[in-house]
């Protein structure tokens, strides 16, 4: 049987300038020439970095507020997005009404979501799907925006400080165990750490290892605007940060927040077997496959970051390939 392909991309921000362009351009525009890669995948996940609503007021004391028109659910449909992570620092940019609209819009489109809800139970609940007989669960959490933490009767996000001694970390760990009991493959989306820096913060490494020890099969990190190296731990990939994929941001000429990858994890017999990385860039609010020398330079940077983590990618004509085996 052919390997099942799970595709992951980092921050997809459809607000502000992207939203403005989508009032003129068709819904497939933000994906550029990357759509053929999406179409070859069996299950597709992104971090949705904007509310989908026409309601609400900007959250006070925040510098940036992102939301997109609800009609732009069609953008996710064009890429065949199956599931989104909502535990991030922009989901509540326009308050609780906008969060409710986002949840309703995603559910109506039959797009799974995790990491935010109308109470803490919903925020920590996994999104569930069955793909070619494989039961997949995705959980999502963030260490950003503690004031957005969901409560017993209060909307918000699954907020978890990166601290083993925290009760909220225990809650997350219990949720991972429970998800593994009812699923074949568990993905944990982690919106964590600072916006910049090519190396994972020191606390992230043991925390990621712990999540895998408890049953996570893929750790899908984001929040930093740049990609970080991939580690293979106990035969499971840790994507510490997948960077930006679609946005309208100004580009830092040194950090290069306009560069990243499409990450495709190939699953064989229920386990991660191979990771493929396709270099991408952002231009004019659109993701594009990185061309020629630019693609090579992005791949070379990632190879160095991976090597620092004792992961050794092979370069291919279309990007990088990382074999996954027991480590």
Give the pTM.
0.97
Q: Which of 64, 72, 55 has the alpha carbon at shortest distance from 18?
A: 72
- Provide the residue ranges of all domains of the chain, joining segments of one domain with +: 4-323
Write down the pLDDT at residue 327.
Answer: 43
Q: Looking at residue 210, what is its pLDDT?
A: 98
| 231 token code pair | 């580690």
- Model confidence pLDDT, tens digit, residues 21-37: 999 999 999 999 999 99
Please give the pLDDT value at position 1: 64
CATH no. of 4-323? 3.60.21.10
Instruction: Read off the pLDDT band of 326 (50, 70, 90).
Output: low
Per residue in 129-143, pLDDT (tens digit) is 999 999 999 999 999
Q: For residue 239, which of 277, 196, 286, 288 has the smallest C-alpha distance?
A: 277
SS3 of 236-272: the string is: EEEECCECEEECCCCCCCCCCCCEEEEEEEEEECCEE
> CA–CA separation, 224 vs 240, rounded Å?
9
Contacts of 199 (CB under 8 A, 6+ apart): 228, 229, 305, 308
In this prediction, residues 180-206 reach a mean pLDDT of: 94
| Residue 151 buriedness (CB in 10 A; 0-12 / 13-18 / 19+) | exposed
Rg over alpha carbons for the chain, rounded to the nearest Å, is 18
Residue 136, strand partner residues: 129, 185
What is the rounded CA–CA span in Å between residue 229 and residue 310?
10
Q: How far is CA 175 from the centre of its chain?
A: 18
Rounded distance between C-alpha atoms, residue 277 and residue 92, angstroms: 31
Tens digits of per-residue pLDDT, 273-319?
999 999 999 999 999 999 999 999 999 999 999 999 999 999 998 89
């Amino acid at each position: 049987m052919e390997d099942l392909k799970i595709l992951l991309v980092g921050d997809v921000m459809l607000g502000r300038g992207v939203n403005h362009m989508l009032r003129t351009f068709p819904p497939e525009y933000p994906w550029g020439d990357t759509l053929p890669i999406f179409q070859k995948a069996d299950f597709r996940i992104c971090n949705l970095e904007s509310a989908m609503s026409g309601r609400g007021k900007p959250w006070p004391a925040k510098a940036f507020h992102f939301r997109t028109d609800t009609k732009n659910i069609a953008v996710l449909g064009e890429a065949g997005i199956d599931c989104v992570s909502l535990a991030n620092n922009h989901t509540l940019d326009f308050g609780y009404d906008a969060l409710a609209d986002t949840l309703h819009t995603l559910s109506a489109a039959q797009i799974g979501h995790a990491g935010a809800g109308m109470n803490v139970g919903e925020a920590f609940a996994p999104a569930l799907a069955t793909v070619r007989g494989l039961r997949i669960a995705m959980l999502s959490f963030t260490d950003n925006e503690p004031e957005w933490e969901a409560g017993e009767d209060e909307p918000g996000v699954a907020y978890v400080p990166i601290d083993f001694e925290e009760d909220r970390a225990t809650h997350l760990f219990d949720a991972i165990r429970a998800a593994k009991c009812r699923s074949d493959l568990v993905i944990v989306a982690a919106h964590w750490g600072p916006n910049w820096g090519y190396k994972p913060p020191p606390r992230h490494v043991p925390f990621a290892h712990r999540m895998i020890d408890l049953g996570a099969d893929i750790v899908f990190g984001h929040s930093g605007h740049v990609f970080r190296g991939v580690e293979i731990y106990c035969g499971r990939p840790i994507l510490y940060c997948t960077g930006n994929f679609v946005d309208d941001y100004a580009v830092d000429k040194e950090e290069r927040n306009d560069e990243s990858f499409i990450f495709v994890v190939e699953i064989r017999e229920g386990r991660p077997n191979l990771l493929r990385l396709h270099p991408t860039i952002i231009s004019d609010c659109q993701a594009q496959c990185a061309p020629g020398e630019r693609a090579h330079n992005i791949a070379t940077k990632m190879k160095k970051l991976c090597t620092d983590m004792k992961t050794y990618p092979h370069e291919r004509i279309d990007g990088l390939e990382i074999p996954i085996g027991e480590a």
